[in-house]
């Protein structure tokens, strides 16, 4: 395939990691990705799509890279993952504070409940296996975390699966932080990556990206980006109190 003047990077609406606000793509992961590509002097354009569509664009070679993606055997067939971890994400189960649902780490005990999940999103080996084996079978599938938590608040699902920081951010925006609780223990702490379309033959770009991201981690830029967003999130929560 012909090379593009700028790399087409796709992602999903998943605040605070990546999201579109007033026509601008923002987020923790967005800032990290932009800085890494700036360092290796590759112009990029980031677009937000429903996750299933974003994955398809990588598979077909209609886009160059995707983030933040968990690593799965199926995806590795069509995507070259970065070696450097983009972000670690703690994935947990969430339910209403008034709910009596409890979790001890055994998903089989939750089989009768309705789960809210995002279309084509991986939630890590533990939950993905429970879906594949039919242990978890009652699911409501949407295109965003916001939709899932809205369904939870309206009583249309019993449990939402989400990364911890994203859940806090979304619930703060919805004004529902005090209505929902995280179940313990968390499902998994999972590394997420940027992954490049194998059809675009971008292994060399992937390797350069790894170098740029590694430099960011060493010189403190990576940590500063994350800390800046954490402070912003704290201020949002304070403003609602």
Domain boundaries, the chain: 7-87+191-240, 89-189
Question: Distance (Å, rounded) from C-alpha 123 to C-alpha 145?
Answer: 12
Question: To which H or E segment does residue 44 belong?
Answer: strand 44-48
Q: How many C-alpha atoms does 222 have within 13 Å on its Cβ side?
A: 18
Compute the half-sphere exposure of residue 232: CA atoms within 13 Å on the CB side of its CA: 15
Same fold, 7-87+191-240 and 89-189: yes
Q: How many CB atoms lie within 10 A of CB 23?
A: 5
pLDDT tens over the chain, length 241 residues? 555 689 999 999 888 899 998 999 999 999 999 999 999 999 999 999 999 999 999 999 999 999 999 999 999 999 999 999 999 999 999 999 999 999 999 999 999 999 999 998 999 999 999 999 999 999 999 988 999 999 999 999 999 999 998 898 899 989 999 999 999 999 999 999 999 999 999 999 999 999 999 999 999 999 999 888 765 554 543 443 3
Instruction: Please compute, for residue 10, the number of CA atoms within 13 A of its CA located in the half-sphere on the CB side.
Output: 20
Question: Which pLDDT value is given to residue 42?
Answer: 96
Please, what is the average pLDDT of the chain?
92
Cβ-in-10-Å burial (0-12, 13-18, 19+) of 213 comes to buried
pLDDT given for residue 15 in this prediction: 84
Residue 159 DSSP label: E
* pLDDT at residue 185, as a whole number: 96
At residue 118, the pLDDT reads 93
140-66-165 Cα angle (round to 5): 55
Instruction: Answer whether 166's CB lies under 8 Å from 92's CB.
Output: no
Identify the pLDDT of residue 240. 36
Q: How do 87-96 and 159-163 pair as beta strands?
A: antiparallel
Q: What are the structure tokens assigned to 214, written together?
A: 């590694």
Q: 3: which DSSP letter?
A: P
CA–CA separation, 43 and 96 (whole Å): 43
CB of 53 within 8 A of CB of 11? no
Q: How far apart are CA 40 and CA 215, in angstroms?
A: 11
Pick the CATH number of 7-87+191-240 from 3.40.50.10800, 3.40.50.150, 3.40.190.10, 3.40.190.170: 3.40.190.10
> What value does the CA radius of gyration of the chain take, rounded to a whole number of Å?
18
89-189 fold? D-Maltodextrin-Binding Protein; domain 2 (3.40.190)
Q: pTM for this one?
A: 0.79
Q: What is the pLDDT of residue 14?
A: 86
Residue 101 main-chain phi, psi, to 5 deg:
-65, 135
Q: What is residue 196's predicted lDDT score, i.e. its pLDDT?
A: 98
pLDDT at res. 233? 54
Which residue bears the tokens 């002097």? Answer: 41
């Amino acid at each position: 395939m012909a090379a593009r003047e700028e790399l087409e990077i796709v992602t999903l609406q998943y605040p605070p990691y990546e999201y579109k606000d007033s026509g601008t793509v923002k987020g923790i992961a967005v800032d990290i990705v932009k800085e890494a590509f700036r360092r290796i002097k590759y112009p990029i354009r980031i677009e937000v799509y429903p996750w299933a569509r974003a994955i398809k664009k990588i598979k077909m070679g209609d886009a160059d890279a995707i983030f933040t993606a968990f690593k799965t055997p199926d995806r590795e067939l069509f995507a070259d993952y970065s070696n450097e971890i983009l972000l670690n994400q703690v994935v947990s189960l969430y339910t209403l504070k008034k709910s009596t649902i409890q979790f001890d780490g055994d998903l089989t005990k939750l089989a009768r409940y309705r789960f809210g999940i995002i279309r084509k999103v991986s939630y890590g080996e533990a939950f993905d296996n429970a879906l594949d084996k039919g242990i978890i079978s009652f699911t409501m599938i949407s295109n965003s975390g916001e939709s899932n938590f809205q369904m939870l608040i309206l009583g249309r699902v019993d449990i939402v699966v989400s990364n911890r920081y994203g859940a806090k951010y979304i619930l703060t925006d919805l004004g529902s932080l005090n209505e929902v609780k995280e179940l313990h223990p968390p499902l998994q702490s999972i590394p997420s990556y940027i992954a490049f379309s194998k059809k675009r033959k971008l292994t060399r770009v992937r390797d350069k990206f790894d170098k740029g991201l590694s430099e960011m981690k060493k010189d403190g830029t990576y940590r500063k980006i994350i800390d800046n967003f954490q402070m912003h999130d704290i201020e949002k929560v304070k403003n609602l109190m």
